[in-house]
């Protein structure tokens, strides 16, 4: 009986000591403030490694576009859209359900659904706003893509790798700007009878597609097709370079972005 | 053995039928594929050479094209420096197919022979345009 009591006492002593050791050795390290944040592997998401919004560094490129809405009318918009869609072999499906759009127009109320001011001037109210992928600094489509088929390049362009796209359309649900179109039908059906640009591929049925800021031209030091089509309306440049075309324009003119409250940080600026 | 006069001929006929694919194709080997390189672009070249040497291209063009895709799309690198120090644009439509404009007599000969079905042309436009 006595012996048994001693055993229990010894056991409790050892158990207590081990707990103390455990807390002192391991647990306090785990609970050190800031430790978890730093080690959780989100370093690649931070903008330090490459150009992001609000950085004044010419060496880190962050492409952006300005659209002068005071100069946009139906004709100008059509010219830009035609230049883009014919260059990228974007099909015309002939009906809104299957529509594929890289660059398109919509009204002020549809484009700026958050608009706090419902009483803007008549010109803007009736202007066809040129819409395209905003190439967000914090793109929701990239976060939801399960295959990394869509990704943000170091220069800020949100690009698509159609080889990897499985057509799940999470990105379309994630994008708050409706910038993505799904190929419900074989896109080549919508290119019948059109002149193809044989230097650029088409897409296949079952992938999502969108504007790529003409990455294939930008990489070669050229301007995007829409900008060269209507150069006095659209401008393209490095947001991190204070002397770039877009920054010079943004310093002089008032600009708005689509749905800024979502925190996606669009890189397309509408000059109003 | 009971019914050996039925079983033994039956077995002979069975084995004969089962081995039909083997003995029927003896001496009838599919000819080795011979991809043609007589396209206008290649004929104009003084020294007929691809971006890398022929042996490497034969064995590794698929890996090379995969690497090219990732470099172009992910890293924005558009040019490849080959072992001869020449810079070439990494592009299936604008580099490979500009010379090898005879897809049916070049790519397809080996791919059909080896029963490989690459899906390049679902999206990329072959030199003769979209196949319908």
Residues of A whose CB is below 8 A from B73: 159, 161
State the Cα angle at B81 between B76 and B86, rounded to 5°.
130
Give the pLDDT of chain A (272 residues) as one tens digit per residue.
556 667 888 899 999 999 888 876 555 555 455 444 433 333 344 444 556 777 667 668 999 999 999 999 999 999 999 999 999 999 999 899 999 999 999 999 899 988 777 788 899 999 999 999 999 999 999 999 999 999 999 999 999 999 999 999 999 999 999 999 999 999 999 998 888 999 999 999 999 999 999 999 999 999 999 999 999 999 999 999 999 999 999 999 999 999 999 999 999 999 99
Q: Alpha-carbon distance A175 to A262, whole Å?
A: 11
Going by C-alpha positions, the residue among A193, A192, A212 that lies closest to residue A103 is A212
* Count: domains in chain A: 1
Residue A108 lies in a domain: yes
Residue B68 gets the label, from left (phi > 0), alpha (psi -120 to 50) or beta, of: alpha
Chain A interface with B: residues with Cβ < 8 Å: 89, 151, 153-155, 157, 159, 161-163, 188, 191, 196, 198-204, 215-216, 219-220
pTM, full prediction: 0.78
Residues of A whose CB is below 8 A from B130: 188, 191, 196, 202
Residue A30 lies in a domain: no
Residue A25 lies in a domain: no
Q: The domain that contains A74 carries what CATH number?
A: 3.30.70.20
Asked if B123 contacts A162 with a C-beta cutoff of 8 angstroms, the reply is: yes
State pLDDT tens for residues B7-42: 999 999 999 999 999 888 888 878 888 999 999 999
Residue A39 lies in a domain: no
Q: Alpha-carbon distance A216 to A208, whole Å?
A: 18
Structural domain spans, chain B? 33-122
Residue A29 lies in a domain: no
Strand ranges (E), A81-233: 103-106, 129-132, 150-152, 158-160, 181-182, 208-209
Tokens of A209: 């597609």
- DSSP code string of A42-85: -GGGSGGGS--TT---TTS--EEEEEEGGG--HHHHHHHHHHHH
Element (H, E) at B98: helix B97-99
Range of the domain at A158: 56-271
Tokens of A95: 């009906």
Residue A48 lies in a domain: no
Is the CB of A202 less than 8 angstroms away from the CB of B125? Answer: yes
Residues of A whose CB is below 8 A from B132: 188
């Amino acid at each position: 009986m006595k012996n048994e009591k001693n055993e229990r006492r010894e056991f409790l002593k050892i158990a207590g000591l081990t707990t103390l050791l455990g807390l002192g050795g391991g647990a306090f390290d785990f609970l050190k403030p800031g430790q978890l944040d730093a080690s959780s592997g989100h370093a690649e998401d931070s903008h330090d490694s490459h150009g992001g919004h609000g950085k004044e560094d010419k060496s880190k490129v962050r492409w952006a576009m300005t659209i002068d809405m005071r100069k946009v009318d139906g004709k100008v918009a059509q010219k830009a859209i035609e230049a883009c869609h014919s260059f990228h072999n974007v099909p015309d499906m002939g009906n809104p359900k299957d529509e594929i759009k890289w660059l398109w127009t919509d009204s002020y109320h549809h484009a700026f659904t958050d608009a706090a001011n419902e009483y803007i001037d008549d010109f803007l109210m009736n202007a066809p706003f040129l819409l395209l992928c905003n190439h967000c600094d914090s793109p929701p489509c990239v976060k939801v893509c399960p295959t990394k088929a869509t990704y943000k390049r170091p220069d800020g362009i949100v690009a698509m790798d159609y080889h990897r796209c499985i057509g799940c359309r999470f990105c379309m649900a994630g994008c708050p700007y409706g910038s993505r179109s799904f190929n419900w039908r074989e896109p080549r059906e919508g290119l019948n009878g059109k002149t193809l640009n044989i230097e650029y591929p088409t897409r296949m049925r079952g992938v999502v597609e969108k504007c790529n800021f003409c990455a294939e031209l930008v990489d070669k030091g050229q301007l995007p097709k829409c900008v060269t089509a209507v150069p006095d309306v659209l401008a393209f440049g490095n947001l991190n370079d204070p002397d770039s075309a877009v920054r010079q324009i943004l310093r002089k003119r008032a600009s708005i972005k689509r749905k800024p409250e979502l925190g996606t940080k669009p890189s397309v600026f509408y000059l109003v | 053995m009971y019914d050996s006069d039925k079983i033994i001929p039956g077995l002979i006929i069975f084995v004969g039928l089962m081995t039909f694919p083997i003995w029927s194709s003896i001496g009838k080997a599919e000819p080795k594929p011979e991809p043609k390189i007589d396209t206008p672009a290649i004929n104009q070249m003084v020294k007929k050479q691809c971006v890398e040497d022929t042996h490497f291209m034969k064995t590794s063009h698929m890996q090379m094209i995969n690497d090219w895709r990732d470099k172009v799309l992910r890293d924005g690198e558009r040019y490849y420096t080959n072992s001869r120090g020449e810079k070439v644009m990494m592009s299936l439509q604008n580099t490979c197919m500009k010379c090898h404009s005879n897809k049916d007599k070049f790519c397809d000969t080996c791919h059909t022979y080896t029963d490989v079905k690459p899906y390049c042309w679902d999206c990329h436009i072959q030199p003769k345009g979209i196949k319908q």
